[in-house]
A and B are shown apart, each in its own frame.
Chain A
Amino acid sequence: MTVLSISDLKVDIHGNTVLHDIDLTLDPGRILGIVGESGSGKSMTALSVMQLLPSGSNWSGSIRVAGADLSIMGEPALCRMRGRDVGMIFQEPMTALNPVRTIGDQVAETVRIHTGASRREAFSIAREMLNRVGLPEDRFPLDRFPHDLSGGQRQRVVIAQAIALRPKLLIADEPTTALDVTTQAQILDLLKQLVREEDMGLMLITHDLAVVAGLADSIAIMKDGAVVEAGATREIFRAMRHPYTRALFTASAHVPDRGRKPESGKIPVLAVENVVRDYQQPRRNLFVKPPPFRAVDHVSFEISHGENVGLVGESGCGKSTLARSILALDGLQGGDIRLNGHVFSSAGDGPHPELRARMQVVFQDPYGSFNPRHQVRRLVTEPFHLVKNPPRGAELERRIDRALTEVGLSSSDADKYIHEFSGGQRQRIAIARALIIEPALIVLDEAVSALDVSIRAQILDLLAGLSERLDLSYLFISHDLSVVRAITDRVLVMKDGRIVEQGETETVFRNPQHPYTQKLVAATPSLEAALAAPAD
């Protein structure tokens, strides 16, 4: 019997159709991957199954969970269904748990609400479930609060409460997107194991083709609120009948064309030597000053003219802190940073403007990188503040025009406000802003991480092209190994504030030396590898 069958589902919110023509089925013990870019309707599909659609929504069609027709169930019946027949896991483990209640309490709640079990029984089931998801009693007693746990651990708690009553259907909405790759691998393994052992059906929603490719038995690709293609995973990837499937696939595996090798021997564009960055920790005791937290620990590296260097590491490894230090936004506790041979430091009034103009930055968040009150013209020309005689009049227009066309926008965009642009376009504007004073080096701090794969591919192409044309160096900071691999010449692997390995990108990824690098490479889901592996 199928645990989930959806046919002809249509959802609209305040009259806008967000889902249409959705047909899906899922059998026990199987994994159904739902893939799509943001706004494709993946999450809405999950919420339809949970019947937790936002207010003002209407749905039609048929949804059956373990044979029961949701359209004829009232709210009390739905409440009985949720948590008992269907469990759900969310994207953000940091906020998915109630911060003021213990983990045991929250897992036990699922049990108590549905079974009327006593407090003790419920807690013993909760204990069992937490053990099951890899949170053993000795380290994770029931009276722990969510804030005591890391993101991955919290996600395990969420899983524990979703499977506490062994539901027939488990829905996981981007369960690993907010996690580091190594943690992601563990959580995916756990889910897979649970599905097999408990004979549940898992509906796994993700934007990452590589994740589903290695996990899902069947797959549905969504775009603009509709399923464009569905079927067995291998079948889909082999045939790639639908153009969108093809596009998605190519974008995911995209490697921009990069011809030229960097020259070496000259003065490096950026020289980082023995840089140390400490943070003062908050006092726990009134009289004892806590030791400082060392976020960056004696890091040294160089970037040559025209070279693209990647900096990879998981969250908290110190890569963003290092980036801030390199940009002279924070002071250093040791070592020095040189740009074109000149000391680049935040001491005093900061670096000389002319020197500062040699290095620019592009941030991760395309929405937070711009002052929403300024026109693009003003946004992209902000770095001219660093120039003694900034261009005016026609010259200024020419420079704006050039910067915008350089990044694939048109000169008419200069008079628009930032809210009129999509995420990808905003990253282009961010790049234009960095380019406009013709720097030698651009620091790209997770610059493509927030973008959908197809957009990401375009931006990577743009960056590769610019680097080549304008002889630019990049420091490309990312947690995403595949992206770094696609665009950099050399890579630095960072862990706990130190560079544990560095070398030619291809060499490092093919033949990682440091155990940590090995672990990272192994944990990174790979589309190629998944498709190459024999079916299980």
Chain B
Amino acid sequence: MTKNPIAATAVSLLALGLAFGVTPAMAAKMDVTIGMQLEPPNLDPTGGAAAAIDEVVYANVFEGLTRFGSDGAILPALAESWEISDDGLVYTFKLHTGVKFHDGSDFNADDVKFSLDRARAEGSTNAQKALFADIASVDVVDPATVKVTLSKPNGSFLFNMAWGDAVIVAPETAADNAAKPVGTGPFTLTEWVKGDRVELGRYDGYWGTPVKLDKVTFKFISDPTAAFAAMMAGDLDAYPAFPAPENLVQFEADPRFKVITGSSEGETILAMNNKKPPLDNVKVREAIAHAIDRQAIIDGAMFGYGTPIGTHFAPHNPAYVDLTAQSAYDPEKSKALLAEAGVSDLTLSLKLPPPSYARRGGEIIAAQLREVGINTDITNVEWAQWLDDVFKAKNFDLTIVSHTEPMDIGIYARDDYYFQYGDPDFKAIMADLANATDPAKRTELMQAAQKKIADDYVNAYLFQLARAGVISAKLKGIWLNSPTQANDMTGVYWEE
């Protein structure tokens, strides 16, 4: 870059002009404001579980060895290429050179080793430590080459490395990333007004394809009305995961906006406490499943956005089996099953976390259950309380929650998981799956698992959460689907 003082003055004058809004109207808009429902508690994806962290920094501020594409494919990121040993145990990553962290320091293989070792170390506060569980060692071959040795073959290792929790950080700045994130991405943090917004500015030293935006603002508007008003008033350019599906109709009718709908990884279920009588009786669980009219819930709570599911699996996955018919809406059958189980005058607690799928869905389910003679005791809880009361203490009968982690049917194999299933047969299926490498065999096992939990009516499976967002009609390059929770702004631009 030239060190011409006159040019610099001109640039800053121009910047001044921008600030005062005297730029010619013709100039392309270079900034974008994105609405988000939750504010990230911090900005360190390796030190927190909140999805909101990734939604701000993933691909924008931090990068990993690999990354997700908008279609869910695994793409190279900081690793230019990689080789996998034949036994599947050794991954040799060839790194990009000339990569700089936002503080100006160089990125090299040492940073990769540091990041991976830090994440898997004892006392690590990485929320997804399991991603790194199979790593046996990380070795620096040369500044541009890293060798990762696994303790056992893991078919999803590259997938794991694409997660936000596996981004590469620099040793000097890792401790402060929560408030001052320093990554290698195309954007750097310029300001964080807590409770209001995070602003990212373009990082000029970025190694990859330059981004087309100067500035990205993530604005945190949890209140759906406020979100609606803010979009309508033009305060926001996009709200990729719009919290109020009821307003989408209005956006669709407005030429200024485009409504994007894609699928998400969120299986929304009515979870049941499988160990608590009378829910330990499969007949009672089946009765509940038959009492529920999924379409009414999707229409009533989600205003039509959502796909009915009959098991805990994402419908867009090729291995998905449609089992909705098995638990079709049939109140008469439900009543018969309850009678068969010898249950009458049943009152169940229904604890509802804050999202509207739970609060609204809960009201509808309560009404539907009442039709078959089951009373519910609704308690609205905050997430913190839900974690304590439902997730940890298992003090509940029913709850509604959307499981948004990708490919998470494995939770049914956990003994102490909150809905307390842990069936030995199911565990066996999952064990086989972990060892299977043949795609056909894997599909078969996955389908068996889906059927097993549907047959056992572990939970009542409601619908796959739609990812419905609103964007300004002129904004291009936003992800339609969400293979992971992220707002990848690297390809976003304004149409002239």
Direct contact of A and B (CB under 8 A): no
